[in-house]
């Protein structure tokens, strides 16, 4: 009987690194001249897995988004893991924006990825398991070809390849 090899495709974010990135962004916010006397703030809501951004106006909100993206990227977290919601007005004419963290692969994205793998025509078997995808085959080379193909695509979510057995 031939041995079966497999790996998992997941989309995870290290919450401690996100917390560190938000804290670095807060420090930068305190030292920047254009934010002196501003009500602008960043807050990481660990339980809800969200980041709340508050800016005095639209320009400051966009600057805060850029600061956050820079700090997230410097902590080696993909910016694709941030899902920016539409800004809304808050107190005193300020703008508030929620940023959700993408954790796990949503069902519709998982179906798209499975279809991409099947379109390759290789002898691999992808299966959706909750918020991850397991790809199995009798050949390690086939599995590595799938990984290379998925890395070459620009997917809407960040993916990691783990549990290679």
Domain that holds residue 146: 5-12+105-162
Using CB atoms within 10 Å of the CB of residue 22, give its burial: 0 to 12 exposed, 13 to 18 middle, 19+ buried. Answer: buried
Name the 3-class secondary structure at 58.
helix
pLDDT in the model for residue 2: 58
Domain of 37: which CATH number? 3.30.70.990
What's the structural domain count of the chain?
A: 2
CA distances (Å), origin 5, targets 81, 111, 120, 134, 140: 29, 21, 18, 10, 6
pLDDT(1) > 70: no
Confidence (pTM)? 0.82
Which domain-ending residue is among 56, 72, 101?
101
pLDDT(65) > 90: yes
Domain of 135: which CATH number? 3.30.70.860
């Amino acid at each position: 009987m031939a041995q079966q090899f497999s790996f998992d495709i997941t989309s995870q974010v290290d919450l401690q690194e996100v917390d560190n990135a938000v804290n670095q962004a807060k420090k930068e916010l305190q030292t920047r001249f254009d934010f002196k006397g501003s009500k602008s703030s960043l807050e990481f809501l660990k339980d809800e897995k969200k980041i709340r951004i508050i800016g005095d106006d639209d320009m400051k909100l966009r600057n805060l988004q850029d600061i956050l993206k820079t700090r997230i990227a410097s902590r080696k977290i993909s910016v694709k893991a941030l899902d920016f919601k539409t800004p809304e007005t808050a107190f005193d004419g300020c703008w508030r924006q929620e940023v959700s963290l993408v954790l796990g692969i949503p069902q519709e994205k998982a179906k798209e990825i499975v279809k991409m793998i099947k379109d390759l025509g290789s002898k691999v078997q992808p299966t959706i398991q909750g918020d991850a995808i397991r790809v199995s085959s009798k050949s390690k080379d086939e599995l590595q070809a799938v990984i290379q193909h998925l890395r070459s695509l620009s997917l809407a979510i960040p993916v990691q390849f783990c549990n290679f057995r």
